[in-house]
Amino acid sequence: MGEAYTRKRLKRKFYKILDTNYSCRFGEIDIIARKGKYICFIEVKTRSLNSVGRPVAAVDGNKQRRIITTAQHYLSAHPSGLQPRFDIAEVITESDRVKEFNYIENAF
């Protein structure tokens, strides 16, 4: 639900979705999109309203390293000449509805 909602929001902001759920032996990237001069590697974190802590807290150093390595793998197979950027989308839900959406550009 969180990834579908994020894709919809990104399209409204004129991002071009290049790939979703890209995976390789190093890890997975939820959404890969293009916006202007950037290729954005987007981690989507969805949590319920009553969860402890912010969804962004789940993207720790180890997770960031896996995403970066996976992005390098993607770029070696799909060279773009674009500037890589790592973003996080926080989706907070309540009763199967999105209550809050927070998009963090250059999160790491």
Give per-residue pLDDT as tens, 20-66: 999 999 999 999 999 999 999 999 999 999 898 999 999 999 999 99
pLDDT at 38: 98
pTM (predicted TM-score): 0.95
C-alpha dihedral (74, 76, 78, 84), degrees to nearest 10: 70
Domain boundaries, the chain: 2-104
Q: CA-CA distances (angstroms) from residue 3 to 14, 66, 71, 77, 85?
A: 16, 19, 18, 24, 18
User: How many Cα atoms within 13 Å fall on the side-chain side of residue 19?
Assistant: 18
Q: In this predicted structure, what is the pLDDT of residue 12?
A: 98
**CATH code for the domain defined by 2-104:** 3.40.1350.10
Summarize pLDDT for 61-97 with one digit per residue, the tens.
Answer: 999 999 999 999 999 999 999 999 999 999 999 999 9
